Chain A
């Protein structure tokens, strides 16, 4: 026989001002199976909780209903109190008298009646609750970092330095990300390679880090502490152990006209190549799409010249199966390219370039050895125009957000140009200058005041060519929207930062959310900025939204701490509110008919197959079985199952039916 205790809280006056708590407690006390019913001013206070604990023992309660605020607020508090009072915590339910009753209704009879109904409903439910034990799952203490830009590098190093193993997956042939392409970095103008390269080397040499480049995530299964990740290691056509990195092959490859990705297409590379001189690992890969041997079936010059016989034309892709406890996504961002800006002539005129191309021109190791030469004829531009917000903050272009980094790198570009071309003129068209950040505004002011960059507040309407010059037409809104026209030798567009290619695909493999721009979504915009909505998967860097290096690095360290905290326990406990498929005695085994419709709707792939065998080993029935480690308790399978074979603990069919009946009927 159920013996339910009901505890009605006044919440100071928050509940009692509109609900007659005395009447609620009294009415409920007269119900069948209610062994004890009382009211108190503050149920969540220490004396309030003690009241519950004492009553559990004194009245030998088999269930508790705390009638107070929202369970989303205090369910953990009261479940804990019950456990301390010797009652299984899952035998405690809350009736929401505050948010759903006293705060939203006037003081009258009906409100008190509603309060009674709410409590009654929970009394009926709790009678059907069962004592549950928290689920314990082990933790594999190896982290995976996806993406080897500065954010991924920082996260990997931080995790590795706490003593845990890290596997880094980078899809390009080298780690380094966009930062390896940058010339100098705002706001200090220190050389990007100089501060990045040591970190890249540290990753390669760290005893706790295993690095896989030219590799991508193929599939992800499992759950926090227990992910199973398949990684495709694309064939590099190279025996990495045999290769010494001498580079002879790259100089002899006859195929030399492939646009160099690292130089943003402003240089050429061979089919067998190392993406840039400081690449980590410093070993070549064959780009099979452009290799003469793979296209025409003959060449093999690299194989012939290689002194250590390291080339492997028949190397297959390799699939690695890895056991991972936590994942950090650090796949970075991209920028919008040419075809996006027809009005600016981008893609039509050679001397209109984007920000990354400018970085390469300004870089000492770039295609022009750091001399600002325009692509068309190699001339040094005398007049240069920078257009900020190219695509960003432009809902008409589908990008309403601010890309955040462009104001700063545009100031940097104008400054670098002036440092290199003293007599040249630099103009910047901008909408607003957004330079929040330590020493950021000072940096922009320096560009304007010391380097005399001409800042024009207004948008550019078009750019076109006339007599070999680029004509930039725009308005100066500070001069009363006056038309301005600048005759330029070169134009640099600060194109919008966008999600990196393949982000959506990866997010789907990981089962994490992404926003309408395909950036990875954080679990909470303020309080959980590095978590995703999937436990055990964290975010670092520009894969979440465009951000600069200091922000990317801070977030990366934040993600590393979350991983370290997770790895500090050897077991995780979680709520046991999961689905179960019923079991009956042979020969039925279960009412499940094995249609496996449930498998197709489960968002977490939590539904497995269980086979029942006869004595002779023959399979007599295959039925569904829930993996309680994977199940998150959404209940979608429960509502779907046509033979009513699945139920959800905590929200069982009998429980919700009892709630409906209680709520609608007189007592």
Chain B
């Protein structure tokens, strides 16, 4: 298990977390290279079906991160994301998805160090959990095909 390199996708908003991750770079703070970022204009744009999409494509862990409450570039996108997340979380939990594989956080454009910390703690946690093989067992084949093909 020790040489297991988890695959982690991060869905982040452009204005806070993406910029915060840029700052991690300009500050030359090192973090684990397992996390790869996909940029969205706002967390409000993040359709949580994408999380299932990521798991079905082999993600071991997921980070969703945007602006702190009240700081959303579009004023309220992150509130809608949060609200949707609360509902979706219940549903995913009910479906048997391992919620400890998902990190939901706020990282601002000024929090370069915090981004590194979010990544590192997530990577450590997922490393301990091991590869997410049980997702495959959870989803029956036909559903999986459907999810995979969009």
Q: Contacts of A293 on B, CB cut-off 8 Å?
A: none
Taking the complex as formed, is A216 at the interface, i.e. its CB lies under 8 A from any CB of chain B? Answer: no
CB-based contact A104/B29 at 8 Å: yes
A640 to B87, CA, bound (A): 12
Taking the complex as formed, is B7 at the interface, i.e. its CB lies under 8 A from any CB of chain A? Answer: yes
A221 to B41, CA, bound (A): 23
A106 to B73, CA, bound (A): 33
Q: Contacts of A265 on B, CB cut-off 8 Å?
A: none
Q: How far is the CB of B116 from chain A (nearest CB, A)?
A: 7
Contact with B along A651-667 (1 / 0, CB 8 A): 10110110111011100
Q: How far is the CB of A632 from chain B (nearest CB, A)?
A: 6
Using CB atoms, name the residue of chain B closest to A632. Answer: B74
Taking the complex as formed, is B5 at the interface, i.e. its CB lies under 8 A from any CB of chain A? Answer: yes
Q: Contacts of B21 on A, CB cut-off 8 Å?
A: 99-100
Taking the complex as formed, is B53 at the interface, i.e. its CB lies under 8 A from any CB of chain A? Answer: yes
CB-based contact A664/B47 at 8 Å: no
| B17-43 CB contacts (< 8 Å) to partner A | 18-19, 21-26, 28-31, 33, 36-42
CB-based contact A635/B75 at 8 Å: no
CB-based contact A603/B75 at 8 Å: yes
A98 to B25, CA, bound (A): 7
Taking the complex as formed, is B89 at the interface, i.e. its CB lies under 8 A from any CB of chain A? Answer: no
Contacts A656-B50, A659-B38 known; A636 to B44 CB distance under 8 Å? yes
Q: Contacts of B73 on A, CB cut-off 8 Å?
A: 533, 634
Q: Contacts of B23 on A, CB cut-off 8 Å?
A: 99
Q: Contacts of B19 on A, CB cut-off 8 Å?
A: 72
Contacts A601-B80, A636-B74, A664-B57 known; A70 to B22 CB distance under 8 Å? yes
Taking the complex as formed, is B136 at the interface, i.e. its CB lies under 8 A from any CB of chain A? Answer: no
Taking the complex as formed, is B59 at the interface, i.e. its CB lies under 8 A from any CB of chain A? Answer: yes
Using CB atoms, name the residue of chain B closest to A515. Answer: B70
A659 to B76, CA, bound (A): 25
CB-based contact B37/A100 at 8 Å: yes
Q: How far is the CB of B126 from chain A (nearest CB, A)?
A: 14
Instruction: Please pick, from A98, A117, A577, A663, the residue contacting B41 in the complex, using a CB distance under 8 A.
Output: A577
Q: How far is the CB of B50 from chain A (nearest CB, A)?
A: 6
A638 to B84, CA, bound (A): 13
CB-based contact A651/B45 at 8 Å: yes
Q: Contacts of A66 on B, CB cut-off 8 Å?
A: none
Number of A-B contacts (CB under 8 A): 132
Instruction: Please pick, from A98, A121, A511, A636, the residue contacting B42 in the complex, using a CB distance under 8 A.
Output: A636
Taking the complex as formed, is B139 at the interface, i.e. its CB lies under 8 A from any CB of chain A? Answer: no
Q: Which of A71, A98, A651 has the most CB of B within 10 A?
A: A651
CB-based contact B42/A635 at 8 Å: yes
Q: Which of B36, B58, B84, B148 has the most CB of A within 10 A?
A: B36
Using CB atoms, name the residue of chain B closest to A654. Answer: B150
A96 to B44, CA, bound (A): 22
Contacts A103-B26, A634-B45, A656-B50 known; A639 to B38 CB distance under 8 Å? no
Q: Contacts of B57 on A, CB cut-off 8 Å?
A: 660-661, 664-665
CB-based contact B75/A513 at 8 Å: yes
Taking the complex as formed, is A320 at the interface, i.e. its CB lies under 8 A from any CB of chain B? Answer: no
Q: Contacts of B26 on A, CB cut-off 8 Å?
A: 99, 103
Q: Which of B5, B40, B148 has the most CB of A within 10 A?
A: B40
Name A residues whose Cβ lies closer than 8 Å to a Cβ of B.
70-73, 96, 98-101, 103-106, 110-111, 114, 117-118, 121, 511, 513, 533, 577, 601, 603-604, 632-636, 638-640, 648, 651, 653-654, 656-657, 659-661, 663-665
Closest CB pairs A-B (n = 3): A635-B45, A99-B25, A636-B44
A-B contact pairs, 19 of them (CB 8 A): A70-B22, A70-B25, A72-B18, A73-B22, A96-B37, A104-B31, A106-B30, A121-B38, A601-B44, A634-B44, A634-B45, A634-B74, A639-B48, A640-B80, A640-B84, A648-B41, A659-B38, A661-B148, A664-B9
